[in-house]
Amino acid sequence: MSRSVFITGGNRGIGLAIAEAMAADGDKVAVTYRSGEPPAGILGVPCDITDPEQVEAAFRQIEEAHGPVEVLVANAGITRDALLMRMSEDDFDAVVATNLTAAYRVAKRATRGMLRARKGRMVFVGSTVGLRGEAGQANYAAAKAGLVGLARSLARELGSRNITANVVAPGLTRTDMAAALPQDRLDAMVEQIPLGRMARPEDIAAAVRWLAGDEASYITGAVVPVDGGAGMGH
């Protein structure tokens, strides 16, 4: 399709699977990275998304190489789990800064080019945890729930300009983030999943790719769960 696609945190995990799926479609894909190296054929832009100056520099680099961003995927995220009584201000702020404030930041910057083009696609990677909550993840759940409010507000604000904003809400997915959890907790979580397994990063990428494509042009403000049924009812 050869669109200019920008994915935050596309150097590993879910973001990398999204980047590979969209590059395979012929899109010009750029990803942020701080660790490792993105694979060949994908433009890696060094960027910490919590720093407004680095985000501005990343957009400029992408615009120069690929043109204005037409598809934005706000994927980068972190966890800093703790029960509320042990959750520090820093744990709360860091998770909100990466998962929510940075998504606002990249969406705002991408909107500039999208308004001019009178079209655009934004996909925010949320979580089932943002809809159902999770003990030990008050910071993460609040940030992911915030993405739903952000996306739905943008859907209303930008719909008349043919810009869509949707959320994909993955359940437990086999990446470094999940690997950080203790095995007994993982086993207990998998037991609660109707499809009986964790998601593969490719399962999430398929939904993002679809929402960013022509077939989903009439879908905006939606929250699409990709969770094996774990979040049903929310």
Instruction: Give yes or no for residue 183 binding ligand NDP (CB under 6 A).
Output: no
Please report where in the chains the tokens 């995927």 appear, as a residue.
Answer: 73
CA atoms within a 13 Å half-sphere pointing along the CA-CB vector of 178 = 21
* Per-residue contact flags (x/-) with ligand NDP for residues 66 to 85, judged by CB under 6 A: ---------xxxx-------
Q: For this structure, is 140 an active site residue?
A: yes
The binder of ligand NDP chosen from 4, 6, 14, 146 (CB under 6 A): 14
* Per-residue contact flags (x/-) with ligand NDP for residues 115 to 154, judged by CB under 6 A: ----------x-x---------------------------
The binder of ligand NDP chosen from 177, 189, 190, 222 (CB under 6 A): 177
CB 49 within 8 A of CB 76: yes
* CA–CA dist 234, 230 (Å, integer): 10
Residue 156 Cα distances to 74, 202, 220, angstroms: 18, 29, 9
Instruction: Give yes or no for residue 109 binding ligand NDP (CB under 6 A).
Output: no
> Where do runs of H (alpha helix) occur along the chain?
13-24, 52-66, 89-96, 102-117, 129-132, 138-158, 176-179, 183-191, 201-211
The binder of ligand NDP chosen from 37, 176, 184, 191 (CB under 6 A): 176
Please report where in the chains the tokens 């832009």 appear, as a residue.
Answer: 45
* C-beta closer to ligand NDP: residue 5 or 47: 47
List the catalytic residues: 140
Binding stretches for ligand NDP (CB under 6 A) = 8-9, 11-15, 32-35, 47-50, 75-78, 98, 125, 127, 170, 172-173, 175-178
